[in-house]
Amino acid sequence: MSLTAKQQAKRTKIIDEVLSTEKSYIESLEVLVSTFALPSERYLDSLKIKAQQFEAADTPPTAAVPDLYTVNELKNQHNRIFSNIAQLLGFNKAFYGELMDSFKMNQGNNIGGVFAKYSAFFKMYSTYTSNFDTSRGQLQEWMDSPRMGPFIAACEMQETCFGSHGGGQKTLKDYLIQPVQRIPRYKMLLSEVIKLTPPGHVDHENLHRAEGIVSNVALSLNDDMKQIELRKKTIDVVTQFDALKLTRDPLLLPSRFFVKEGVLKKVCKGGKKDFLFVLFNDTLIYGSPKMGINRTAPNGEKIHSIHRR
């Protein structure tokens, strides 16, 4: 079965979108690396040299030059914020180059073949995605700090952050989320191309193979994000209970994750009382607001005394 002229035009338009969005995505990765990752790395390297000099001269740290421990922690935060973004940029440049070569040689009839060829490299995104929640937290710490906050704000005022196609200024946060969104975008675009690729087409088999691989990667990344959110929620819930001091049978375990929580009434000797019940995958706990204390957990919830597990 062959495509009508209208279907062929639509197919070509979708393949053009694959190429144009990949080009724009690479430009964003380049901004992320050249405007944020590398300048902040150089800035921290210069701070480290000064901190080492201060330490060698037994000079106390200042507002401009912190102690060596603080600088090293800032460098560790830098690694967590930017993760493997430089490796992703290198991969996507090579991937885009081959997409363009294939389009020129085959008029878009080997897009699936290129995706299939590079399929193993898409798994590199799992490193970035699994680290993304930590990256967001570390970035917020940077933006709130008197040293890194102004530095990043200055980077965001660079011309590269305003782009050449309008749309306003983009922040570091805007750039950091783009790799998380890219794999699902590949899946959507491949699905659209497949709809306009008949069974007898030379790229039909490769497109289906590529879609299957990208779908599996997207599913794995989604599961990673869900696990991260579950883990974060588990920690948030546990901090509501005055039970972190338990050591023989700790409440927070690597294998334990939150399922559901809610306030229920329990029949007690003095009548019905409200308790906060929390269901985990392997245990159920409940408790009541701690009497004589107005303290709250880091997530803003009231501290509860644990009653039973």
Residue 153 domain flag: yes
Read off φ and ψ for residue 154, nearest 5 degrees: -65, -40
Do residues 144 and 283 both lie within one domain?
A: no
Residue 247 domain flag: no
Residue 243 domain flag: no
The beta strands (E) that lie in 116-251 are given as none
Do residues 127 and 186 both lie within one domain?
A: yes
Encode pLDDT of 48-70 as tens digits.
Answer: 999 999 999 999 988 888 899 99
Do residues 286 and 157 both lie within one domain?
A: no
User: What is the average pLDDT across 69-77?
Assistant: 93
Do residues 18 and 159 both lie within one domain?
A: yes
Do residues 128 and 15 both lie within one domain?
A: yes
Return the pLDDT at 29. Answer: 97
Residue 252 domain flag: no
Q: Is 248 exposed, middle or buried (0-12, 13-18, 19+ CB in 10 A)?
A: exposed
Do residues 173 and 285 both lie within one domain?
A: no
Domain boundary among 177, 206, 237: 237
Both structure tokens of 138 = 């570390």
Do residues 32 and 111 both lie within one domain?
A: yes
295 has pLDDT over 60 = no
Overall number of domains in the chain = 2
Q: Which domain holds residue 170?
A: 5-237
> Which residues share a beta bridge with 261?
278
Encode pLDDT of 98-117 as tens digits.
Answer: 999 999 888 888 999 999 99
Do residues 118 and 63 both lie within one domain?
A: yes
Do residues 150 and 220 both lie within one domain?
A: yes
Encode pLDDT of 250-263 as tens digits.
Answer: 677 777 778 888 88
User: What is the average pLDDT across 223-252?
Assistant: 66
Do residues 142 and 83 both lie within one domain?
A: yes
Return the pLDDT at 234. Answer: 75
Do residues 232 and 294 both lie within one domain?
A: no
Highest mean pLDDT among 3-17, 79-93, 242-256, 284-298: 79-93
How does DSSP assign 52-95, residue by residue? HHHHHTTPPP-SSS--HHHHHHHHHHHHHHHTTHHHHHHHHHHH
Banded pLDDT at 164 (limits 50, 70, 90): low
Do residues 75 and 133 both lie within one domain?
A: yes
- In this structure, are residues 98 and 118 in contact, taking their beta carbons and an 8 Å threshold? yes
Lowest mean pLDDT among 26-30, 246-250, 255-259: 246-250
Residue 253 domain flag: no
Instruction: Give the domain CATH number at 229.
Output: 1.20.900.10
